[in-house]
Structure 1
């Protein structure tokens, strides 16, 4: 299922982001990432094996420039709130919608001056049963 890859690709099409979004966790330096969160759940299951899911993801940014993080995550949030289409490249899912569950918020400030801000979303998607 390639949903997270398509979400990352969509984020990377947003003009003038200061960093490329990657999948995984924050690095040691400035970074912008997307990763899954716990709590995803099946909403409905169909006879053909397809399942409707509510899937939780987090977008995190780390930088020493608090205002840049704030602006970047609010830009991403605005773009994702208006997202109506997202297509699988391998036909493994159908995108049904996306909801921002937490607006960008500060999560951490360490003694080296690195800020970490988070943005939480929930995607509604149908995952098709894999053909064997």
Structure 2
């Protein structure tokens, strides 16, 4: 039986080590200042080996919701630099091995709600290895 891939949870927890406007969570942003991570469509297997091991490219979005445009951009830039420099990301259940992140966008504005909160986003791609056991 294949273990559940805990990549997004581990990544989100790692972002929680940064001094950001809110503590990141997986899923969607809340009604107030918040940060959320989610997996995006388009993730793919780059290489599949005979033993079932796969090298995967995982698309990830980091979203920030806040009334401060300056803080949103500042925090997304902090996250962008952090993931580019990240050398180690350890799975809690040994479901993946981390290779690296490749940033696929600069922080960008997505929307503004009726309460004056801005939603900004940043996309990155993680390269990981998943062993099939």
TM-score by length of 1: 0.93
Question: Runs of at least 4 residues of structure 1 off by over 2 A?
Answer: none
1:123 aligns with 2:112: no
1:97 aligns with 2:107: no
Counterpart CA distance in 2 for 1:111 and 1:90 is 41
1:48 aligns with 2:76: no
Which structure dedicates a bigger proportion of its chain to strand?
A: 1
Tell me the number of residue pairs that the alignment of Structure 1 and Structure 2 aligns: 129
**SS at structure 2 position matched to 1:53:** strand
TM-score by length of 2: 0.92
Give the aligned partner of residue 23 of structure 2. 20
Unaligned runs of 5+ in 2: none
How far off is 1:22 after superposition? 0.2
Give the aligned partner of residue 5 of structure 1. 9
What is the Cα-based RMSD across aligned positions, in Å?
Answer: 1.0
- Residue deviations 1:54-106 (CA, integer Å, cap 9, x gap): 11010000011111111111111111110111111111101111011001111
Unaligned runs of 5+ in 1: none
How far off is 1:109 after superposition? 1.7
| Matches for 1:58-97 after TM superposition, within 5 Å | 58-97=61-100
